[in-house]
Amino acid sequence: MRELAFIGKGHLEWRDADEPRLQGDGEALVRPLSVATCDLDRLLVAGLAPVSEPFPFGHECVAEVLDVGDAVESVRPGDIVSVPFQISCGECETCRRGYTGNCERVERMAMYGLPMGTNYGGFLSDAARVPFADAMLVPVPGDVAPASVASLSDNIPDAWRTVGPHLDERPGSPVLIAASGASIALYAVSIALALGAERVDMVGGSSYLRDRADSVGANLLDTDFPKRAGHYPIVVDASGDVDGLACALRSTEPEGICTSIGIYFADTTPVPLLEMYTKGIRFHTGRVHARPAMEPLMELVRAGKFKPELVTGETADWEDAPEAVAGHRSKLVISRDH
Ligand SMILES: [Zn+2]
Ligand SMILES: [Zn+2]
């Protein structure tokens, strides 16, 4: 079969790969139909994230089920499904607690589309193997367009976890997002408003991102990160910038919560710990646990309250994937017919 490989900075190409096959009766094989780029993909393509070897690319997709093992009950061939980027069994103690990103039955950080130990392949390919089909796959209802939820595998749940649980706890709260160019910031704006946030303020952000944020309902503050943007009960750091992170932390009110989705590649990163201590804030950093958020988000899309397609900045045909991925500057969705 054919798969898209990331070769190096700005360079991807189609190559031949072994066809995956079922390796157990709880597994499924899927054929990706719509693939979205993750915010991390853009850094990889730009040479800004450390990777040392070619690897099969793409880890957000909606796919058609091709084949299932005898023990699979929730899906059958022909079904359209969203595939989480993380491999998780759904049954171990850690998965049952909702931390599917740290499943005990697979290698740490096991996922599609990045070189993290076992090669599970990438989604810009003709087929992918899903090791725990019943636990992982989420059916896409017939009234939801596959391309609109291509990012439900990763970036959309990543945005949800920054605001969803906290708006449940403190309904109607205003939200502050410190942004750069990441689509997760835009999804977070849309999801927070859909869930009833009084308003969503955005500080920082590229001019492209600010235009998009404005169109999905954000209230725009300064382009540069001030020392503090105000005092908010719910704050998101999606900046990947030390000044953005510090601004987010200083803008979190006492007993507020600040979630950072940013990946800071440096070994140590400065944070205003004294201010955090004296105010008493909750700070969370870590990878998303994508799977548990996928069904509630699918419902939000189906109900018409959250329109992820408004975040998509670029689209491309499947055949044009190498050039489209190499040149993408915003959320890219690549699709083919099924
Ligand atoms: Zn990702
Ligand atoms: Zn598990």
How far is the first Cα of the chain from the last one, in angstroms, to the nearest whole number? 17
Please name which of 91, 128, 158 lies closest in space to residue 17, comparing C-alpha atoms: 128
Q: pLDDT grade, residue 198 (50/70/90)?
A: very high
Give 69 Cα–ligand 2 centroid separation in angstroms.
Answer: 19
Ligand nearest to the CA of 135: 2
User: Residues 135-144: what's their mean pLDDT?
Assistant: 97
Q: Is the pLDDT of residue 338 over 90?
A: no
Ligand nearest to the CA of 43: 1
Task: Decide if 335 contacts 317 (C-beta within 8 A).
Answer: yes
The percentage of residues in the chain with a pLDDT greater than 70, rounded to a whole number, is: 100
Task: Decide if 25 contacts 69 (C-beta within 8 A).
Answer: yes
| Spatial CB neighbours of 169, under 8 Å, sequence gap ≥ 6 | none
- pLDDT number for residue 116: 87
Give 309 Cα–ligand 1 centroid separation in angstroms.
Answer: 18
